[in-house]
Structure formats: structure tokens, C-alpha cells
Amino acid sequence: METIANKVTEAEAVSKFLPGEKILTLKRHGNGHINDTFFLETDRDRYILQRINHEIFKDPQKLMENIYAITTHLKKAIRKNGGDENRESLTVIKTSDDKLLYEDADGGFWRMYLFIKDAVCLEKVEKPEDFYESALAFGNFQRMLSDFDPKILHETIPDFHNTPKRYDDFEKAVALDKLGRAANVSKEIEFVRSHREEMGLGEKLLREGKLPLRVTHNDTKLNNIMMDKKTGKGITIIDLDTVMPGLAIYDFGDSIRFGANTAAEDETDLSKVSLDLGLFRVYAEGFIKGAAGGLTDEEIKMLPYGAKNMTMECGMRFLTDHLLGDTYFKIHRENHNLDRARDQFALVADMEAKWDEMQEIIEKIMRDQKEKIYA
Ligand code: ADP
Ligand code: GN1
Ligand code: MG
């Protein structure tokens, strides 16, 4: 068996889900910023074991009830389409006493999923077709959840994409200046402040009923989707922790923020950071197609704003965490959150330079769609 730190605790957790299975491999896995994720291979099958970050998800039981309800709904839709429900959806493995979670003696909360086999999780778009396929899959995910009753869902992180609320949290962190870091980041603080007003637009349109509240994923970055190794298709949407009522333009936007950036999310050479307009167009086409007519004209028109606002909000969250002492996002080096924030702000600036082109791309897709309908 390959070993890892804390192996007693992880192995103990495994025994609660899979008593009698022999552990062959158990090791850290993936690049998520939130949970502790482990790859597990036993003499029977392969699995993902996760310790849920309960500083962030305050009620792991309710979180798992959400995920169980969502995956049950998705599996039904997948079966109806003749698909493979254990491959196209996450599958929750319960404990041997039929619970969705195991709570260890230290107050850690563990869950288990089937491992999605013969699939890869990309950290970077390698070719436009991959990005198009991921867009189709996220659009399709949105469509499959369009008849899911949002009232069943617990709000796992209240105000997750409430950008004005995020702005208030940012100002509080600046005022507190817990570690005396604010003086060094005055340029970044100014950048956020200069965008304050526009960051409220999504919430305003929602209040006015111009954008609908839907059941959305809310964390649609490229490494939250598994791509089939053979066909290259987006096969499974993972990381369902933040599935909650939200705005479709933000699901679109978060994918653009991560996948259409010509650099990694934490690149320090900012000259490498820019919006790839080709990828923006490809993703927009896939997302609209995947949603299969489910998006309103107003939503489609607001896609560029969704991209810019998610980038702005994420940069602001990274900067807030830097000011508060890096307690939210996992960091792997000094100033990691600051590097991430600077990268996001550089991307926002590039979107501003390319704003007219972003709008034209979306308008052209809308015109082409109408022509197809009336042809
Ligand atoms: P986080 O919330 O920390 O991002 P994720 O649930 O996204 O955690 O998991 C982290 C990584 O683990 C993913 O990016 C993916 O590479 C991998 N992963 C998660 N669930 C599965 C699964 N069921 N099958 C295969 N890989 C998975
Ligand atoms: C986190 O969990 P993960 O790594 O897929 C975060 C997202 C951010 C993203 C930035 C629950 O996503 O909101 O956009 O990092 N998830 C949570 O990379 O806060
Ligand atoms: Mg993730």
C-alpha cells in the first residue's frame, strides 16, 4: 500500500465505508482549493475519499443531503437518456451504517464517491474542442437541473455569489488589516473600489426579475468536470458542494474566468494573462447549445458581464483572504492568494480592453441562432 501522512485517520475512514475491502492505494489527489481529497484503490474498486472543509461548509450533513438529492435527480435524467448513471453522475457511497458521512473522533467529516474511470480532469484548456465539450456538459447540467425543486436545497454557503456582500466583506478585511498587509496592496484595493458599482449589476437584475434564479453549479472551473479519455466529451460534473439557486451567467462566467485565461489562475508574470477571445466564443456556443434553449435572451446578452463579474469577484475573494491571513483558500507558497488576485485583476483589465469584441461575439451567436430558427 502506498502511504500518506495521517494514514491512520484516512484508513480508519475507509473502513467505515468499505469494511472488508483491502486498501491497495490511498494518496492525496487533485488540485482543489477547499477539501482534502484522496484517491483510493481497494481490492474491489476505485474511489474518491474526501474530508469536507467544515470551516467553509458549516453543516456537512445538510451539504450531503443536497448532493444526494441532486445526484439522485441527475441519475434519473441520465437513465432516461440511456446513459451510464455511475459514470455521468457522481455516486455517493454510504457508510456501512447507511449514513452519508462519517464523523471521526477529531470532528472531521468524511464522504466517499465512486472514482470516475477512464476520464481526466484538466487544469488547463489544451485544445478548443475540450473547452467546447466542457461548455456543452455544463449547459446540459443546467438543463438537467431545470426541473429540480430549489426548495429542497440547503444554502451550503449563504450569499456565495452575492457580489455586493462579498464587497462588504472585502472592505471589512481592509479596515481590520489583521496582518498589516493592506499598505502593500493599495493598488489592488483601489482596483476593487473602482469597480464597486458595476459589481452590483447581477443582483440588481435578479431583484428586478430581469434575470431568473435557477439551480446552478456555482463553481464551474475546468477542474470540476471529468472528460472522457477516449471520446474527449465532458462526461461528469463534479464538486457539487455549491449547487444552489444562482445565476446562469455566473456559471458561464466562472468557466471563462478559469478556462479562457491564457495563463494559470496564479501566474505571476502578468504579461501572460489575457482573455482568449476564441475560447470565449467557443465556450459561449457550447454553453448555449448545452442549455438547449433554456437561457433567456437577457441571460445570453449578459454573458460577457457574467464573465467579467465572476473574475472580479474571485479576485476580490483572493485579495480578501490574503488580507485575512489565508484562512479560506489552500495556499502553496507565500503571497499565493495575492498572486491569484493580481492575475484575476489583470484578466478583468484585459476583458475591459476587449469588451466590444466580447459583446459582438455574443450578438453574432444570437443572430445566427435566430437565423437558424427562422430558416
Ligand atoms: P475541491 O472542492 O477541493 O475542489 P473536488 O470535489 O473538486 O474538491 O475534488 C478535487 C479533485 O479531485 C477534482 O478536481 C478531481 O481531479 C478529483 N475528483 C473529485 N471527485 C472525483 C471522482 N468522483 N472521480 C475522479 N476524480 C475526482
Ligand atoms: C474554489 O473548490 P474549488 O477549488 O473547485 C472555490 C471557488 C473559486 C475557486 C477559485 C467552495 O473552487 O468558488 O472560484 O476555488 N470554491 C469554494 O479557483 O469557495
Ligand atoms: Mg473542485
Residue 270 CA to residue 340 CA, distance in Å, equals 10
User: Phi/psi at 78 (nearest 5 deg)?
Assistant: -65, -40
Say if pTM beats, i.e. exceeds, 0.85: yes
Cα 58 to Cα 157: distance, rounded to the nearest angstrom: 8
Q: What is the extent of the structural domain holding 287?
A: 128-374
Residue 123 domain flag: no
- For residue 285, which phi and psi values (nearest 5 degrees)? -60, -45
Q: Helical H runs in 105-247?
A: 128-144, 163-176, 186-193, 201-207
Residue 145 clears pLDDT 50, i.e. is over it = yes
| Same-domain status, 150 and 80 | no
Predicted pLDDT at 293: 82
189 and 146 together in one domain: yes
Percentage of the residues of the chain whose pLDDT score is greater than 70: 98
- pLDDT tens digit string along 194-221? 999 999 999 999 999 999 999 999 999 9
The Cα-based distances of 275 to 308, 348, 355 in angstroms read 10, 9, 10
Mean pLDDT over 230-258 rounds to: 97
113 lines ligand 1 (CB under 6 A): yes
Between CA 354 and CA 358, with CA 357 as vertex, the angle to 5 degrees is 85
Residue range 268-321, pLDDT digits in tens? 999 999 999 999 999 999 999 998 888 999 999 999 999 999 999 999 999 999
Task: Give how many domains the chain has, as a whole number.
Answer: 2
For 5-23, the pLDDT digits (tens) are 555 589 999 999 999 999 9
* Backbone torsions φ then ψ of 82, nearest 5 degrees: 80, 20
pLDDT tens digits for range 23-60? 999 999 999 999 999 999 999 999 999 999 999 999 99
301 assigned to some structural domain? yes
4 pLDDT above the threshold of 60: no
What does 6-25 look like in DSSP terms, one character per residue? THHHHHHHHHHHSTTPPEEE
CATH code of residue 287: 3.90.1200.10
Residue nearest to atom 8 of ligand 1 (CA): 32
For residue range 115-131, what is the model confidence (pLDDT) as tens digits? Answer: 999 999 999 999 999 99
For residue 239, the ligand 2 atom closest to its alpha carbon is 5
CATH at 109: 3.30.200.20
Say yes or no: CB of residue 30 within 6 Å of ligand 1. yes
Supply the pLDDT for residue 3.
47
Q: Tell me how far the alpha carbon of residue 98 is from its chain's centroid.
A: 28
Instruction: Kindly give the number of the ligand 2 atom that is closest to the alpha carbon of 254.
Output: 14
Same-domain status, 110 and 162:
no
Ligand 1 touching residue 35 (CB < 6 A): yes
**91 and 143 fall within a common domain:** no
> 253 CB under 6 A from ligand 2?
no
Distance CA 315, CA 330 (A): 15
Is the Cβ atom of 34 under 6 angstroms away from ligand 2? yes
